[in-house]
Amino acid sequence: MRIRGNPRLKLLDRMLGVPLVRALSLLPKHPRVDPSTLKRVALLKTAAIGDTLLLSGPIDDLRRALPNAELVLITGEDNREAGELLASRVDRRIAISPRRPGAAVRTLRRERFDAVLDFGAWPRFDAIVTALSQARVRAGFATRGQSRHHAFDVVVEHSAELHEIDNYRRLVAEFGATKHVAPHLGPSRTLEADRIPEAPFVVFHPWSGGYNGHVKEWSPSLWVELGIKMHERGWSVLVTGSAAEHERAAVIESALGGFGCTAFNGAGEYTLAELTDVLVASEAVISVNTGVMHLAAMLGALTVSLEGPTPVHRWGPLGPRAHSVATPLPGCGFLNLGFEYRKHRADCMSGITPEAVESVLARALSPRGVYA
């Protein structure tokens, strides 16, 4: 059972988490400490691959600000692989589970952290674990309507007007990390060459995880139309995804084959680390808004994201060759924390056409290489 996007766990997090966090507000608050005295600092992010990868920049910022501190990245089960991609940036990694809150608290207490920085915007589980960690200072976000900031000694406003990486930067700035670098990653260089399609090829990533992820997905028929356009460029198509999406990817692969296009089904065939080698070898990565989109952009691959309910200013791809196609339909781009679907339209992605995606791609591939 996956943690992220699980409606039962989300309901439990709210129904039990909110009153518990409020009760934890009665715990004594610790005085602000001099960041230079911090020796062991935990960075807590228990879900979401893309959100976790965005930490690459703020972790680098914090490393420069606290050169003598041990930095420990704490992930959950679902984003463990994303944490592995950040391994070179931290001293150690630990995985905990929202399904075992008692064990999670005991793990943090054993570590005797000087500071725990909670990068979650809404999960009360993260705030509770942070509050009970017995760290000298506990820091996290005050997010409107989420009732989680009561747990922290250092509280930073979480803004719906900023890209999530800028919210992260606000948090690490409280610990002296005021100079920022762009998030970036490198390929793993571990994948055998024969497992990468022969160039030139384009990666299609049509699937989105998380709550109501299907609302961020594009129709398979539109992916096929776009694949035909890629075939006209002389490119083959590699459809990526998880093992659970293999059959859905096969539908696109088969349809493209019926039109004489060369296509491959890579869903479930690569670990996240192996996928980095595939993405950098591609001519372009075209993806809905999801973790692989963020991964491709931070690797420096030419990335085109398809944005329907997700606003670019909050969750768009960040990278030197990252571009977005936003739906022109009114009332879209409404997601802030990722679950605000109620009373909003569910057809935002239908406003994006293959022609619009091809146009953005063509401009990105122009001699200037710039899309404005």
pLDDT in tens, 40-79: 999 999 999 999 999 999 999 999 999 999 999 999 999 9
pLDDT (mean) for 265-279:
98
Count of alpha carbons within 13 Å of 222, Cβ hemisphere only? 19
- Does residue 204 sit in the same domain as residue 161? no
pLDDT of residue 370: 45
- Does residue 110 sit in the same domain as residue 245? no
Please provide the size of the chain in residues: 372
The pTM (predicted TM-score) of the whole model is 0.94
Rounded to the nearest 10 degrees, what angle do helices 7-24 and 124-131 cross at?
Answer: 40
- Does residue 245 sit in the same domain as residue 314? yes
pLDDT in tens, 106-128: 999 999 999 999 999 998 999 99
- Please tell me the total count of domains within the chain: 2
Residue 184 within a domain: no
Range of the domain at 24: 7-173
Q: What does the H/E/C string look like for 47-92?
A: CCHHHHHCCHHHHHHHHHHCCCCEEEEEECCCCHHHHHHCHHHCCE
Using a 10 angstrom Cβ sphere, with 0-12 exposed, 13-18 middle and 19 or more buried, the burial of residue 194 is exposed
Map residue 207 onto helix, strand or coil: coil
Residue 76 within a domain: yes
Furthest C-alpha separation in the chain? 68
pLDDT (mean) for 299-304:
98
- Does residue 212 sit in the same domain as residue 129? no
**Mean pLDDT of all residues belonging to the chain:** 94
- Does residue 151 sit in the same domain as residue 70? yes
